[in-house]
Amino acid sequence: MFKQVFHTQLNKALKTKMAETEVAQVRFGIVGCANIARKVARAINLAPNSILHAVASRSIDKAKRFASDNGLDPRVKIYGSYDQLLDDPSVDAVYMPLPTSLHVHWAVMAAQKGKHVLIEKPTALDVGELDTILEACQSNGLQFMDGSMWLHHPRTVKMKEMLFDSKLLGNVNYIYSTSTTSASPEFFENDIRVKGNLDSLGALGDLGWYCLGAVLWAKNYQLPTVVTALPDVTTNSDGVIISFSASIQYTEPSSSGATTNAIIHCSFLADTSMDLTITGSKGSLNLNDFIIPQRESSASFEFTLGAKFVDLHIGWNVKPERVVVNCDELPQEGLMVEEFARVVAGIRTTPGMLLDPKWPEISRKTQMLVDAVKKSVDLGCKPVYF
């Protein structure tokens, strides 16, 4: 039933938008048919300012299967190589869900072909590779964004409003974040995320990207003072990290010596969790689905202000307030595509329109933290200073 509804919704949206001829509509090509591409294909066709124009895989048969399995309109072009899609002059932007080891080659080539780049996380194997991608995009006047969908959810916007209201949380003292999933034996045998030659960052790149990004988000993208991997790192026979924890510490450059401590835990070995807790001097925010909301149409979080224990410590003086944020118009991945397409369309149609530097900066700082954790692991869990 879900598959039928998914195909019906996607096909209806695509047929409607294929008939449109609005100049502002951004034509996307998908480079690679990974499973996450199904979700983003749907998002591209739901967003009002974008349309799926082409799909490419390393073989024409795989690309055709992707189109058939996802109910794509027959007018979507199907290519049996990435180069063919990049050579299509009608493609304005590409979405790349490729293995991380392939990002720098194909993203740079896309930029050289004049395509704006929306790329899956982690963006690269290290910040040096990412800088190569960003330079290619910037020098060709092209927008870059990574696929961190949760940043575009209206719940995230609402939480940030409260987070930086000095009358509410106050100074952030502590951040805790997890991203875990209990992977199957087939995952450990076949998935690219545990293959050293394809995605050597493993759980650090796949899951850690979200948790490290959440820490940066909560600190308004201020870089920390020191990052330290904790000595609970688990690797597979390929040397790929499949479970880890890390400490991220901020020491404010002032006489007060104020600090913010963050702990993250990411693993392919534990039951599903997506926790985010931010504790300030006056209150706290809590949610357990920050990466993928439990419901597509709405999401919630708990906010607690001025909590104290009652007499004899037999309870609390307040209960957390549940804040519900609706997401009626588009799911978070649709909002991501819509924002990316908005910038791309502006660059294409408005003389002098500048690239939005926010998204490359967020990606680069997140990649820097990923690199720092990896370096700490390689050093035997020693601290890495910024």
Q: Are 246 and 263 in contact (CB under 8 A)?
A: yes
- Give the three-state DSSP class for 311: helix
- From 121, 219, 365, 374, the catalytic residue: 121
- Give the three-state DSSP class for 196: coil
Classify 239 in phi/psi space as left (phi over 0), alpha (psi -120 to 50) or beta: left
CA dihedral 60→62→65→69, nearest 10 degrees, is -140
Rounded Cα gap, residues 320 and 385, in angstroms:
36
Q: How many other C-beta atoms lie within 10 A of the C-beta of residue 325? A: 16
Rounded Cα gap, residues 177 and 174, in angstroms:
10
Max distance between CA atoms of the chain, in angstroms, equals: 72
DSSP letter, residue 161: H
Which structure tokens are listed for 14? 């695509």
| 308 a catalytic residue | no
Residue labelled with tokens 């509804």: 5
How would you class 264 by CB atoms within 10 Å of its CB: exposed for 0-12, middle for 13-18, buried for 19 or more? buried
Q: Which residues are catalytic?
A: 121
